[in-house]
């Protein structure tokens, strides 16, 4: 086993017969990710004809924060809406994969959407 804290470089050579489960990666300590637990049953997200729709599957208080990102993590659009309002937004003029993150004070869900202009 190689401890990267003691040896900061590591190289390996791959062969087709190698066991795919030969690596064990251990993360020590807190990673400090401040995200709420993802529960996919809280929101239903879909897109149709340049519109993104979000349906809340359970009763929530507060606002929804809807964020759209490209795959490099660049924020394309952010919207804050009341949970009980009709939640549809116009998608940005963007071709490619968009990550949609919907959250409120008790849940977060992320889903990808592929946009192709015709």
Segments forming the whole domain that contains residue 54: 43-115
Q: What is the DSSP letter of 38?
A: B
Residue 107 within any structural domain of the chain:
yes
Q: Is 28 helix (H, G, I), strand (E, B) or coil?
A: coil
In this prediction, residue 104 carries a pLDDT of: 80
Element (H, E) at 62: none
In this prediction, residue 50 carries a pLDDT of: 79
- What CATH number has the domain bearing residue 84? 2.60.40.3080
Which of 64, 114, 54 has the alpha carbon at shortest distance from 89? 54
Q: What is the DSSP letter of 108?
A: E
Residue 94 within any structural domain of the chain:
yes
In this prediction, residue 22 carries a pLDDT of: 75
In this prediction, residue 27 carries a pLDDT of: 62
d(CA 118, CA 114): 13
In this prediction, residue 28 carries a pLDDT of: 59
Residue 3 within any structural domain of the chain:
no
In this prediction, residue 75 carries a pLDDT of: 92
Residue 2 within any structural domain of the chain:
no
Q: Are 52 and 88 in contact (CB under 8 A)?
A: yes
| Total domains in the fold of the chain | 1
The per-residue pLDDT string of the chain (118 residues; one tens digit each, 9 = 90 and over) reads: 677 778 777 777 788 888 877 777 666 555 555 555 545 567 777 888 778 888 776 666 678 888 999 888 899 989 888 766 567 788 878 888 888 888 887 778 888 888 765 5
Q: Is 6 helix (H, G, I), strand (E, B) or coil?
A: coil
In this prediction, residue 29 carries a pLDDT of: 55
């Amino acid at each position: 086993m190689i401890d990267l804290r003691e040896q900061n470089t590591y190289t390996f050579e791959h062969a087709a017969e190698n066991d795919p489960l030969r690596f064990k990666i251990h993360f020590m300590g807190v990673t400090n990710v401040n995200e709420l637990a993802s529960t996919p049953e809280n929101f239903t997200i879909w897109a149709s004809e340049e519109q993104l729709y979000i349906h809340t599957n359970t009763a929530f208080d507060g606002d929804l924060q809807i964020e759209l990102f490209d795959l490099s993590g660049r924020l394309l659009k952010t919207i804050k809406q009341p949970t009980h309002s009709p939640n549809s937004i116009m998608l940005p003029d963007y071709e490619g994969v968009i990550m949609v993150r919907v959250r409120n004070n008790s849940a977060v869900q992320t889903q990808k959407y592929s946009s192709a202009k015709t």
